[in-house]
Amino acid sequence: MIENNQSVSVKDVLSPEEKGDNNSQDIVTFKNEFDISDNDDKGETLSKSFVDEDEPFDAGRSNVDADSFSLKTEETPQKEQDVPTEKESGATEPDSEKAPAFDGGIGAIANAANVFGVSEGELQNEFNRFKAEKLFKKIVLDLTLKTLTKDELKRLIGDAATFGLKGVTVLPSALSYAVEVSSGAELYVAVDCPYGAETFKAKKFLVKKAVSSPAAGVELYFDGFTLELKKKQLLVREYKQLKACAKKKQFVVAVNVDGMSAADMLLVNEILFEAGITEVKAVSKSLSANDHSLEGFIKAAAGKFAVTACAREGDADRVIGVFNLGVNFVACSNATDLAKAFKEKLGVE
């Protein structure tokens, strides 16, 4: 409380929130932002993202950060000055002129919609579209496990570009045509797919040839049988050389994890890590968080590599479950169908 005749500065009367002590928090976090479960009360869900329930809303200071969809405050630099007490000035602020407390409920989205000059429905739809676009940049269309006609290849690559997927992986035999019809989609080429059974010399040749192509990146399949035939340090040297062959292009080592023992998973991760590999692709028959082989490999690779989980097909719920295991990307042959399903669940046109 301010005593009579006591002088105070503006800084003394500012709340911690006004001083800028609160760190702004980006509302989009990966594991929770793609919660696409059906929820009729979308306004209630979104509104909690905008503002803390306990934080008062000051209409004179508010603005909106369009990147994070969160309300932030700006402080106007002021010189320190004596602030007369209410008794000294003889004036009080009428209750009708005081800024209303922000309820943090359904009114939050209404306030934000007013700031943007759009309806609540339009704002919700825009936010859902943002979530969908962010998710699609983490999904790759993998066409290495399918036999396709040229028309099918052209259609799928076009759809991948339209949805804004991270990219499309093809076999070397389909690369030249894929480049012609890429429609702006980023292309990757998979060599020695799907078993990695070629000799070391053949692998070097394939990687060098892929590097000279228009593909943005190269995927090389690891041969699990070599764990029994070659010593660890020999495999480390080989994969160091293979990575060097890729030069500055993205280089990913794909590993078939189905049926792989825990000991072999750890050994493969050690070999690739010591060889300087930075990205791995765990290939499994099923894209599910309950797939013990896939889950085991992802846990073994955690903190060492950027990890892509790959399978022939996956559904929307399973994809979210796999992302929650900590993978960076998901790849499957029905990625465009997944994108359609996500847009329908989010109500995005």
Residue-wise pLDDT tens digits, 189-247: 999 999 999 999 999 999 999 999 999 999 999 999 999 999 999 999 999 999 999 99
Task: Report pLDDT for 4.
Answer: 47
CA dist., res. 110 & res. 154, Å (int): 44
Is 70 exceeded by the pLDDT of residue 21? no
CA dist., res. 139 & res. 160, Å (int): 10
Task: Report pLDDT for 184.
Answer: 87
Q: Are 72 and 65 in contact (CB under 8 A)?
A: yes
Percent share of the chain, pLDDT over 70: 68
Task: Report pLDDT for 77.
Answer: 52
Dihedral angle sign, alpha carbons of residues 233, 238, 243, 245 = positive
Cβ burial of 53 (10 Å; 0-12, 13-18, 19+) is exposed
In this predicted model, what pLDDT tens digit does every residue of 281-290 receive, in sequence order?
999 988 876 7
Higher pLDDT, 53 or 206: 206
CA dist., res. 40 & res. 224, Å (int): 48
Task: Report pLDDT for 310.
Answer: 95
In this predicted model, what pLDDT tens digit does every residue of 122-143 receive, in sequence order?
777 888 889 999 999 999 999 9
CA dist., res. 280 & res. 327, Å (int): 10
Q: Which residue(s) pair with 168 in the sheet?
A: 141, 187
CA dist., res. 323 & res. 300, Å (int): 15
Longest dimension (CA), the chain: 92
Burial 216-243 (b: 16+ CB within 10 A, else e): ebbbbbbbbebbeebeeeebbebbeebb
> Of 62, 53, 59, 54, which Cα lies nearest the Cα of 98?
59
Mean pLDDT of 67-90: 48
Q: Which amino acid is at 22?
A: N
3-class SS of residue 170: strand
Task: Report pLDDT for 105.
Answer: 47
Structural domains of the chain ordered from first start: 10-131 (no CATH), 137-346 (3.20.20.70)
Q: Which residue(s) pair with 252 in the sheet?
A: 219
Task: Report pLDDT for 23.
Answer: 47
Q: How much is the CA Rg of the chain, to the nearest whole Å?
A: 27
3-class SS of residue 250: strand
- Rounded (5°) CA angle 88-94-99: 115
Mean pLDDT of 39-59: 43
Cβ burial of 14 (10 Å; 0-12, 13-18, 19+) is middle
111 CA to centre of own chain: 28
In this predicted model, what pLDDT tens digit does every residue of 252-263 receive, in sequence order?
999 999 989 999
Task: Report pLDDT for 127.
Answer: 85
Q: Average pLDDT of the chain?
A: 78
Task: Report pLDDT for 230.
Answer: 94
Higher pLDDT, 99 or 228: 228
Q: Where is average pLDDT lowest: 1-10, 211-220, 305-314?
A: 1-10
Can you give the pTM of this predicted structure? 0.67
Task: Report pLDDT for 109.
Answer: 65
Q: Which residue(s) pair with 307 in the sheet?
A: 280
Determine how many CB atoms are found less than 10 A away from the CB of residue 163.
Answer: 21
